[in-house]
Amino acid sequence: MLTIKAATFPVSSHKKLAVSSFALNVGECCTVIGNNGSGKTLMARMLNKELVNDSGEFIHKLDSEMVSFEKQIKLYDEEWQRTNTDMLGAEEEIATRVENIIQRERQDAAYCLKLAQQFGIAHLLQQPFTALSSGEGRKVLLAQALMNQPQLLILDEPFDGLDVHARSQLMSILEQLLQTGMTLVLIVNRLDEIPTFAQQLGWILDCQFSQLYDRGTFFADPLTTQLLCCTAHDAILPPPPLSAAKAECISETLVELERIKVSYEERVILDELNWKLNRGEHWHIAGPNGCGKTTLLHLITGDHPQCYSNKITLFGRRRGTGESIWEIKQHMGIVSPALHLAYRVAGTPLTVILSGFYDSIGLYQQPGDQELTLARQWLKLLGMASLEQASFLQLSYGQQRLLLIARALVKHPALLILDEPLQGLDSLNRHLVLQFIDHLIVNSTSQLLYVSHHAEDVPRCITHRLQFMPESSGGYSYQFSKL
C-alpha cells in the first residue's frame, strides 16, 4: 500500500508540494488531474520517490517507474550530449537504437520484442531513438518502463502525442496491466483521458493535493465543474513589430513540393508527394504516428537533411539557390515537439518570447524598446507576467509550451507551422491558444500548417486537409481535401 498523510515535500527554498491524504492499494488505479503549473509533474516525481518529505507520513515500498515529457526531454538531452562531443570514436557517435533504449536497465530481447509489438513499434527497434517522432518516442518510453516490470506505474500525460489508435491501444494495455495486479497512477488534464477503470480521482491545485475521491463524488463536486469550465476571454493579440517581414512581397504559392521522397536506409518515409500551399489556404495535416507529418514540416523549415535533395520551393524561391536558412525562417513561426526538445538554453519567459523576433534558440541580441513592450504584452496575455524573470527550464512543460507558442506568434509570420502545439496544455489554455490562432489568421495575412491528433484541437480557420492514409504495403498514400 502507498500511504501519505499531512506530508510536505520541499522542491526549492520557496516551494513545497503538500499532500493532505493519498492512499492507494496494490492493484488499484487512480487519476490525478491538474491545470498547467498546478504541480502535476511534481506529484509524479514524488510518487516515483524522487522527492523526500520533511513532514508528515510517507509510506511507499513499491518498485516504481515513471513516464513523462520531462523524462523524454532528458533522454533526448542525454543522446545529444553523448553524440555531440569530440571525445567519441566513430562507432560511439551513432545514436542509441530503440531496442537499447527499451532494454537500458533490463536485458531481455524476447520481452523487448513483445512490448514493441504491443505498441506497434517493432519495425523501429533498429532505428536511432533521436530519429523518432514525438509520439513514437513516447511509445518507446512506455515500453522501457514496462520492461522493468514495476509494481507501480506512474504516467504523466501518457496520451499526449499519440494518435487516436495509439491512445485506444494504450488504454487497453493499461486495463490489462491492472488486471494482472499492477498499481497505476495516471496524471492527465483531459477529461476523456480518465480511464473508466480508475477507481479514485483527485485534483492538484497550486502544488496542493487534498485527497482521492470515488468517481461519483469527484464529478459531483462543484470544484470539478468550475475547473473544467473554459472561460477564456476573447483574445486581442499584440501587433507585430514594425520591422516584421512583410507577407505582401511573397509569391502567391507559399510552399510547393514536387515528387518528394525521403527515406532512411530501406525505410521510406515520404514517397512521390506533390503538394502546394497557396495564398489564403490553411492546412490541417493528419495521420498516425510515424507516417511522415513531422518529416514534411521539417523539409519546409529546413530542419531535415534531405531538404536540399528534394524539389522544394518556398515563398517563390527554390530551396538551394543561394538563400540562407535565416532568410526563409524570418517568414515563419514554428512550434513543434522537436523545437521544445531543442530549447534547452538558460533563459527567462521574457527572453524566450523575445527570441521569436530573431528566430533563435536563446536570446543573443539586444532587443529594442518595441520588442520588449510586445513581449511583455504577450506575457500578460498568457497570465504569466509575474514569471517574467523566472527560469524557463524550471517551469512546467505546459507553461514552457505556452511561451513557445507566443514566441511563434510574436511577429505575425507569413507561415505559421504548428506541430501538436497544444501538447501538454490544460483545457483552459487549449481554448485560449485556439483563440489566438483563429484571431491571428482572421486579422492578418498569416497562413497556417497545423498538425494535431485530436479533432477538437483543430482551429476553426482550417480550410484544407492533407491526410496520410495507411496502405496494405505498409506505406502511406496522400488524400487532399477542401473543407
State the CATH number of the domain containing residue 371.
3.40.50.300
Is there a single domain that holds both residue 79 and residue 209?
no
Which grid coordinates are listed for 155?
504516467
Q: Residue 280 pLDDT more than 80?
A: yes
Q: How many CB atoms lie within 10 A of CB 306?
A: 17
* Average pLDDT of the residues of the chain: 90
pLDDT in the model for residue 18:
97
Is there a single domain that holds both residue 92 and residue 34?
no
Q: Is residue 236 part of a domain?
A: no
* 146, 181, 208 - which closes a domain: 146
Q: Residue 478 pLDDT more than 60?
A: yes
Q: Tens digit of pLDDT for each residue in 97-143?
A: 999 999 999 999 999 999 999 999 999 999 889 888 888 999 999 99
pLDDT in the model for residue 91:
46
Q: Tens digit of pLDDT for each residue in 333-389?
A: 999 998 998 898 999 999 999 999 999 999 999 999 999 999 999 999 999 999 999
CB-based contact 245:428 (threshold 8 Å): no
* 201, 229, 257 - which closes a domain: 229
Is there a single domain that holds both residue 314 and residue 413?
yes
Number of domains within the chain: 3
* 107, 126, 146 - which closes a domain: 146
CB-based contact 398:37 (threshold 8 Å): yes
pLDDT in the model for residue 327:
79
Q: Is residue 77 part of a domain?
A: yes
Q: Tens digit of pLDDT for each residue in 249-263?
A: 567 889 999 999 998
Enclosing domain of residue 477: 247-482
Distant-in-sequence contacts of 436-442, Cβ < 8 A, 24+ apart:
436/235, 436/237, 436/405, 436/409, 437/461, 439/235, 439/236, 439/237, 440/237, 440/409, 440/412, 440/416, 441/282, 441/416
Is there a single domain that holds both residue 46 and residue 81?
no
Residues 162-176, mean pLDDT to the nearest whole number:
93
CB-based contact 331:412 (threshold 8 Å): no
User: What's the rounded Cα separation, in Å, for the pair 270 and 263?
Assistant: 7
Calculate helix-pair angle for 134-147, 69-83, nearest 10 degrees: 100
Q: Is residue 234 part of a domain?
A: no
For 191, phi then psi, to 5°, come to -60, -40
pLDDT in the model for residue 232:
54
Q: By percentage, how much of the chain surpasses pLDDT 70?
A: 95
Q: Tens digit of pLDDT for each residue in 91-107?
A: 445 679 999 999 999 99
Question: Which of 68, 51, 37, 33 shows the shortest CA–CA distance to 395?
Answer: 37
Is there a single domain that holds both residue 100 and residue 198?
no
What confidence category does residue 190 fall into, taking pLDDT thresholds of 50, 70 and 90?
A: confident
Is there a single domain that holds both residue 284 and residue 420?
yes
Is there a single domain that holds both residue 219 and residue 251?
no
What confidence category does residue 229 fall into, taking pLDDT thresholds of 50, 70 and 90?
A: low
Residues 197-226, mean pLDDT to the nearest whole number:
90
Is there a single domain that holds both residue 123 and residue 188?
no
pLDDT in the model for residue 251:
74
Is there a single domain that holds both residue 33 and residue 163?
yes
Q: Print burial letters for 268-291: b (CB count within 10 Å at least 16), e (below 16).
A: bbbeebeeebeeebbbbbbbbbbb
pLDDT in the model for residue 14:
86
CA angle 236, 361, 36 (to 5 degrees): 50
Q: Residue 182 pLDDT more than 70?
A: yes
Q: Is residue 235 part of a domain?
A: no
pLDDT in the model for residue 88:
47
Residues 282-311, mean pLDDT to the nearest whole number:
91
Q: Is residue 239 part of a domain?
A: no
Q: Is residue 341 part of a domain?
A: yes
CB-based contact 178:29 (threshold 8 Å): yes
Lowest mean pLDDT among 17-21, 66-70, 74-78: 74-78
Is there a single domain that holds both residue 426 and residue 461?
yes
User: What's the rounded Cα separation, in Å, for the pair 391 and 384?
Assistant: 12
Which grid coordinates are listed for 11?
522542491
pLDDT in the model for residue 134:
85
Q: Is residue 328 part of a domain?
A: yes
Is there a single domain that holds both residue 223 and residue 269?
no
Is there a single domain that holds both residue 165 and residue 252?
no
Q: Is residue 335 part of a domain?
A: yes
